[in-house]
Copies of this chain bind each other. A is one copy, B any other.
Amino acid sequence: MNALPRQKNIAMSEFEKTALNKVVRGNKRAAYDEKTIFEIADSHFLCHLAYVYEGTPIVIPTAYGRKGNTFFVHGSTKNRMMNFLLKNERVSLTITHMDGIVMARSVFHHSFNYRSAVIFGKPSLITDWDEKMEALTLITENIIEGRWDEAREPNEKEMRATSVMAIEMTDASAKIRAEGANDEPEDMNLDVWAGVLPLQVTVGDPVRNDDCKPGLETPQSILQFEFDPK
Binding site for B on A (CB under 8 A): 1-4, 19-20, 24-25, 46, 48-61, 63, 75-76, 78-80, 88-94, 96, 98, 100-101, 103-108, 110, 112, 114, 116, 118, 120, 136, 140, 143-144, 147-148, 150-155, 158, 162, 180-181, 187-213, 216-219, 222, 225, 227
Q: Kindly identify which residue among B56, B107, B191, B194 contacts A136, using a CB–CB cutoff of 8 Å.
A: B107
Complex interface: chain B residues within 8 A of A3 (CB): 207-210
Task: With A90-B55, A108-B154 as known contacts, state yes or no: A197 contacts B193, CB within 8 Å.
Answer: no
Identify 17 residue pairs between A and B in the complex whose beta-carbon atoms are under 8 Å apart, listed by A's number: A3-B207, A20-B53, A48-B59, A50-B58, A55-B88, A59-B92, A61-B116, A63-B112, A107-B136, A107-B147, A107-B152, A110-B143, A144-B197, A188-B211, A191-B213, A191-B216, A197-B204
Chain B's nearest CB lies how many Å from the CB of A44? 10
Whether A202 and B203, one on each chain, are in contact in the complex, defined by CB atoms closer than 8 angstroms, is: no
Tell me the number of copies of this protein.
2
Complex interface: chain B residues within 8 A of A222 (CB): 103, 193, 195, 197
Complex interface: chain B residues within 8 A of A92 (CB): 56-59
Chain B's nearest CB lies how many Å from the CB of A139? 9
Whether B193 and A219, one on each chain, are in contact in the complex, defined by CB atoms closer than 8 angstroms, is: yes
Task: With A96-B61, A106-B158 as known contacts, state yes or no: A56 contacts B88, CB within 8 Å.
Answer: yes
Complex interface: chain B residues within 8 A of A105 (CB): 151-152
Whether A180 and B207, one on each chain, are in contact in the complex, defined by CB atoms closer than 8 angstroms, is: yes
Q: Kindly identify which residue among B140, B193, B205 contacts A212, using a CB–CB cutoff of 8 Å.
A: B193
Cα distance A196–B39 in the bound complex, in angstroms: 26
Chain B's nearest CB lies how many Å from the CB of A36? 17
Cα distance A57–B121 in the bound complex, in angstroms: 11
Chain B's nearest CB lies how many Å from the CB of A26? 8
